Amino acid sequence: MQQHMSGEEYRKIQLEMPPSKRNNAKNAKTAAVGIATVVVLGVCIYAGITYQKYNQVVPPINTPKQNSPNNSSDGDGVSNGTGSGGGADGNSRGTGHSSVTGTVTAISATSITVQSSESGNAQTLAITSNTSISDAKTQSFGDASSGQNSTANIHIGDKVLVTPDAANPDQAIGILLNPV
């Protein structure tokens, strides 16, 4: 059976204890709290790094600003404007035409048809050897003809973001599978 003591009795026992024993107990508690703090911080840092590693958002390929004053659209998901490229210098692979986000309704080695999720209209774009294909889910990149991301990996019903070429708006310069 445990005996209870008042605060005064406890204090009296503590004062009777040699100072070295009192300090050792205090130092042990301080050390334990310090070690626990370091362990918790280490776990938090590891969790943050792991989260960032596996939850990165891949930006769409060469998408121009949607509300650019130079981009006018007739509602088919493709701009008719003459806006400059998607890069900061205007000389990148970006286009003056808006990208189309939607569902693949037809796919071959030479073309892709996408039904716009915004307007519901279907648009067919040619796929060339210059067309880059990326997958946001696996964060992998390739070209249309070979590698991990080829047209063979695109299926009817897949969600995609297709960016037309500035020089030839009927050709796809980039296809992003599984856009965020």
- Whether residue 134 is found in the same domain as residue 168: yes
Residue 171 reports pLDDT greater than 60: yes
d(CA 74, CA 42): 54
- Whether residue 102 is found in the same domain as residue 63: yes
Q: Which range has the top average pLDDT, 47-56, 95-104, 111-120, 135-144?
A: 111-120
d(CA 162, CA 62): 10
- Whether residue 23 is found in the same domain as residue 107: no
List the domain range (segments joined by +) for residue 161. 59-180
- Whether residue 39 is found in the same domain as residue 79: no
Q: Quote the percentage of the chain above a pLDDT of 70.
A: 64
pLDDT bin (cut points 50, 70, 90) of residue 37 is: very high
Mean pLDDT of 155-174: 90
pLDDT given for residue 137 in this prediction? 79
- Whether residue 42 is found in the same domain as residue 68: no
d(CA 64, CA 158): 22
DSSP β-ladder status, 122-135 and 171-177: parallel
- Whether residue 11 is found in the same domain as residue 87: no
- Whether residue 42 is found in the same domain as residue 82: no
pLDDT given for residue 38 in this prediction? 94
Residue 1 lies in a domain: no
Residue 2 lies in a domain: no
pLDDT averaged over the chain?
74
- Whether residue 17 is found in the same domain as residue 92: no
Residue 1 reports pLDDT greater than 80: no
Domain count, the chain: 2
